[in-house]
Chain A
Amino acid sequence: MADNILEVKNLKKYFKTSRGMLHAVDDINFTIERGKTLGLVGESGCGKSTTGRVILRLIEPTSGEVLFEGKDVTKLSKREMRHMRKDMQIIFQDPFSSLDPKKTVSQIIAEPIRENRILTGKENIERRVLELMETVGLAERYINTYPHELDGGRRQRIGIARALAMEPKLIICDEPVSALDVSIQAQILNLLKELQEKLGLTYIFITHDLSVVNHFSDDIAVMYLGQIVEKAPAEELFEHPVHPYTQALLSAIPIPELGHRRERVKLKGEITSPVEPPAECRFAKRCLECNEKICKASVPKLIEISPNHFIACPLKQQEMGFKI
């Protein structure tokens, strides 16, 4: 039996807008095994960040279940949730706006420790702060500096130290390296990987960068307009992408090598609006393979086409002989 730390069932988050309901996250399901990384990829507006926030209940879900170690997070009271958040932390994308500019590095890292009474006593807390700084590779001399004095890489290390302060089991990394230069990006990715091995952490890695997600994840779920369209182990997904959107996405990555100028899977048209979307495949309008009769008949279901490889494309499912 796989030890699933997190199970997300039929999760939905709709936002009310003047033009109707915006389906930001629309009925998504996935599980993550303890100690593994799930990559959540997609383009801007696909609902990947909202999914991360809904799991932590930073935004309340519209419906669905989020089972963390078997307990439904969505049904917890505020107080229970506060306790639960120690186990589930988040690292934000922008290290420039997610840190309080008026606090020093040590105050920022100490805050969650003090607030949640993980440790008491000034000395204990200070010792823990130094320990955390060492863990994330921040030199002791930065302890009394302010975020604006540091570069993006170091600021992101503070964000990681603050998340680790709670000794979490699961960390949601929301585009943790997108704002950083490549050489710094690699430093942070290596740090996150080391921490995972050392502390047995489970990650949900949210990103739009496919080469990063491939490097970092065990499983990858590709999102499009609030839904998961394909999910598979990283290697399988990169080698045998089946959903036309995944294929287009993968072929769009520019590869930094000679002789790689290649044919792209082309996309057409404009993106379907996530406000009151019709009951059909949301990718249909941009898909060159779209078959009006099959693709616009109903909302596609995520079906397992080979072990652990799921797709939500009625056309491909039918080609492969699955009943839809």
Chain B
Amino acid sequence: MLEFVIYKTIICVVIFAVSLGIAAYSTWWERKFAGLLQDRWGPSRAGWAGLLQPLADGGKMLFKEEIIPNVSNKFLFVLAPGLFIITAIVAGVLIPWAPPLKIGDTFYPLQIADVNVGVIFLLAVTSIGVYGVMIGGWSSNNKYSLLGAIRASAQMISYELAMGIALIALIISAGGTLSFSEIVKQQDEGVANIVWQPLGFLIFFVCALAETNRAPFDLAECETELVGGYHTEYSAFKLGLFLFAEYINMFVSSAVMAGFYFGGYNFPFAHEFYDKMGWQEGSWLISLTGFFIYFIKTLIFISVFMWIRWTIPRFRYDQLMNLGWKALLPLSLLNLVITMVYEYFRGNLQF
């Protein structure tokens, strides 16, 4: 029992710290990347190549004057950023970061919680994430905030449907398991799910962009129409939490995509490689290699998110809704039907 508590505590703390660190340095990388695409330097003053910039930004947010509007519901106003960042972090508990580690005679999975309804848990957590935005926008008592919150939540609800149906197709082709770790493990023969689910991945990727409120779907904070969107009235560290949660969301959804569709910690010819190196199953070297592979995949996805942000202009609101309901939802249903027919003829589905 004590062993279990220690093991879980270590894993929770490490994954929490890594998530926050990655989210912080995503802000740095986003600016560097923007600089790269726009032919300028990006942050270069704080530390070598601007590496201390996230700390400087955090310090700035912390020491700024905090203004709480007089007329708003104060408790909910303070609660909203916290709620938003908690739901962003909670989705990360499902991710199996590396192959199980063997200490003594027991295998320790390097994952906080192996929920056997993991995929549905993920959908539930993303749908709970709407509350932070809605409560924040409403309790600000500001028209722009409210409109921003309503836009953001309408967008999140609309894109959740297509996302869910794309995930059902994934579950069917992954052999009918809802557990995240089993979906990743099932890809260890070197064939990632992207091979069976190219259309499903495309739908999931667009939905992930919309769910994280990133460009080109960042209408919730469209400056030209809504000032600052749902966080117009927020200042200092509460604003910082809202902005920070966006980066955590991006990190988690990148990791989810890498795990669901690109094999997670697996890579082609992994078993041959491990055999050649003479590493036993459960060795820490295998866990470490797997972790690095997964991490690199995740970082590539984060970079793709940023690449899209600095390349594609923002959608109009009606275009966004049309894309969600009239293009992505029928496409995901089509993908589901194709997957079912294909798997039926492969003999994996029985009626």
Partners in one complex: no
Point out residues on B near A: beta carbons under 8 Å: none
Interface residues of A (CB under 8 A from B): none
